[in-house]
Chains A and B, each alone.
Chain A
Amino acid sequence: MSGLGPLTVRELKKWVRNPVFLITGLLQPFFWIALFGSAFDLTKFLPGASSFVLGGAPNYITYITGGVLTITGLFTAMFAGTQIIFDRRLGPMGRFLSSPIRRSSIVFSKILSSVIRIMPQVVILIVAALLIPNGLKFPHGFTVIDALVLITAITLISFIFSSIFSVIAIRMENMNSIFGIVNLVNLPLLFVSYAMFAPGMMASWLSNIAEYNPVSWSAEAIRMVIINGVLTASQWVQVERWLGGLTVIAAVVLALTAVLSEREIRD
């Protein structure tokens, strides 16, 4: 009697049926890769040294693809909680709470649907990055294992942030509070990370903080497989460390969400 299935299907139906929501969500990654790829390309000021700064990437788009994928996941995930507030304000929450479903499944349906919604964005973003001039290149190929690393990183990062923002929304009544929090943390999460810039291009204090940002871990793991194709043993150790870190955070967030949503969710 979990209710997770029907509630997730409901979220996805609402998504597919809202053309503006659907299309903007799918266009967003395209804009990001094209605009960010040009706007933040500082390597044009470093003739000759760009490959060194970019960790072996042939161009900036290839370097930031991992970052933009992560950020797309992050920004979509941060709005997962808004649907909880809508459900409370528009009435469906009352129905859910008087049904014999696990209360946490109300929250997990938002998280799950948000993670699912991110996947087509990932595909579009990679296709867009491949299509634009001087775009994404896989200098050493791209294996099935690389694809799995990419999907795992995106899934974990979107799960973590969907959960955090859903838990925030559990008792919240005002939509504006969520927007406020999103606006407060989105750019810091983006810029205090290795999503857009290589550590060598950042102020050292910023780089020191960015090392502990899960956004960096996801971006770096994806970047590693995109640039290197087949990884060496030492590169694997790094990827495992990043994905391991994300998994630990995801597990903690999962437990927290389960406990808090069972106990705290209100009409």
Chain B
Amino acid sequence: MKDIIIETKNLTKIYNGKIKAVSDLNIEIKEGEIYGLAGPNGAGKTTTINMLITRISPTSGTATVGGFDIVKDSLNVRKIMGVVPQDFTADEDLTGRENMMMVSQFYNVPKARAVENCSNLLKMVGLEEAADRYVKTYSGGMRKRLELVIGLVHEPKILFLDEPTLGLDVQTRTQMWDYVKEIQEKLNVTIILTSHYLEEIDELASRVSIIDHGKILITGTPAELKGSLKGDIITLTLSDQKGVEIMKSIPNVIEVSDSGQNTVRIKVANADESLPQVINYISQHELSTIKLTVQKPTLDEVFLEYTGRDIRAEEGGTDARKMAMNLRRVRR
């Protein structure tokens, strides 16, 4: 088992004495993993990150990052970690490379090494041609990529990525995912990723915690969380209603239900294992099938299961939005 690099104990943040953004958070993050913190806006993700990167101090509880206490030893925490915040931080009046060089000076990276790091990182995210242009000429996607490598210029052991693809189009988002994976593989950094795009967490994270109302609801690998639902769905459309009745008596499944229009919905623990059995049963009874689909649960369904709410609905929901806005306001 790998060493634990970040540990929080009852970490709590209360804003203005009443808004409980994070409450009694206990997490352990292992060295070298991509750890995802998933939850809707206002769930407490950014507040958690901001405490860990020492931008704000906790109301109570403790946390260590790389063995350093985030309150007593905040300077050392800042030395070993890199941050890619939600908002843009690059200076628009400087070039991409100048921004990176300036930040590397904050960490006393020797000049030759900094020059080399900048070139390599800019190449990695495809910004080498734009490197000497002013940042104000960059597109949104380019700025996000620049933020990503600014956070890496001093070779941190730990990288915090706060909503790295917020506001990006789908194509740019998948591109960012590739960069994040490449960074984790090549540079061997521990990455803490927050996102309210659950498919992003699913794609990138080796372990994920679902957070809501400032509390961790469940932690595990994305596969474990999805597996915990025990509910792959096999949907079968037959040529007539008679076949539906026959399918209803199929053995060794969790549940079979008639969903109308000659269609049955079969819930199984694991579709990969159950599918051959279903197909055998169909051919045994000489049924003619029109359509067969397999649906595995996504993290969205996991979120639904544990919070009782749909994460997408949350985005339009006034409560969560208000909470997120309040948090944003008090965080400033």
Contact = CB atoms under 8 A, between A and B. Distances in A.
Given A13-B98, A266-B332, A100 B107 contact: yes
Given A97-B55, A100-B107, A101-B106, A92 B91 contact: yes
A5 interface: yes
Interface centre among B53, B79, B94, by most A CB within 10 Å? B94
Interface string B86-105: 01111111100010011101
A9 B94 CA distance: 11
Contacts of A141: none
Given A3-B106, A98-B55, A98-B78, A91 B87 contact: yes
B150 interface: yes
Nearest to B91: A92
Contacts of B225: none
B93 A17 contact: yes
A100 B106 contact: yes
A95 B54 CA distance: 12
A10 interface: yes
A102 to B, nearest CB: 9
B106 A6 contact: yes
Nearest to B89: A95
Interface in B280-331: 331
B91 A10 contact: yes
B75 A5 contact: no
Contacts of A140: none
B78 A173 contact: no
Given A3-B105, A101-B106, A91 B88 contact: yes
A98 B332 contact: no
B141 interface: no
B55 A94 contact: yes
Contacts of A6: 101-102, 105-106
Interface centre among B54, B91, B150, by most A CB within 10 Å? B91
Nearest to A105: B106
Interface in A243-267: 266-267
The size class of the interface chain B forms with chain A is: 20 to 34
Given A1-B106, A10-B102, A95-B103, A100 B55 contact: no
Interface centre among B92, B103, B331, by most A CB within 10 Å? B103
A114 B150 CA distance: 27
A94 B106 contact: no
Nearest to B150: A95
- Tell me if A's interface is mostly helix, strand, loop or mixed: helix
Interface in B62-83: 75-76, 78-79, 83
Given A95-B89, A98-B78, A10 B94 contact: yes
Interface in A93-133: 93-101
Contacts of A14: 91, 93-94
Interface string B134-155: 0000000000000000100000
Contacts of A267: 55, 331-332
B85 A98 contact: yes
The size class of the interface chain A forms with chain B is: 20 to 34
B319 to A, nearest CB: 26
A86 to B, nearest CB: 10
Nearest to A6: B105
B259 interface: no
A61 B332 CA distance: 49
Contact of A100 (B75, B90, B332): B75
Contacts of A17: 93
Contacts of A100: 75-76, 78-79, 106-107
A221 B91 CA distance: 40
A185 interface: no
A98 B93 contact: no
A3 B85 CA distance: 20
B108 interface: yes
B93 A18 contact: yes
Contacts of B75: 1, 100
A90 interface: yes
A99 B102 CA distance: 11
A13 B164 CA distance: 29
Given A1-B108, A6-B105, A91 B53 contact: no
Nearest to B92: A90
Nearest to A13: B94
A218 to B, nearest CB: 32
A134 B332 CA distance: 55
A96 B105 CA distance: 11
Nearest to A18: B93
Nearest to A10: B102
A90 B331 CA distance: 16
A250 to B, nearest CB: 27
25 contacts: A1-B79, A1-B106, A3-B105, A5-B105, A6-B101, A6-B102, A6-B106, A10-B94, A13-B93, A90-B88, A90-B91, A91-B85, A91-B87, A91-B88, A92-B89, A94-B87, A95-B103, A98-B54, A98-B78, A98-B85, A99-B107, A100-B75, A100-B106, A101-B106, A267-B55
Interface of B: 53-55, 75-76, 78-79, 83, 85, 87-94, 98, 101-103, 105-108, 150, 331-332
Closest 7 CB pairs of A and B: A95-B89, A6-B105, A100-B78, A99-B106, A91-B89, A98-B83, A100-B79
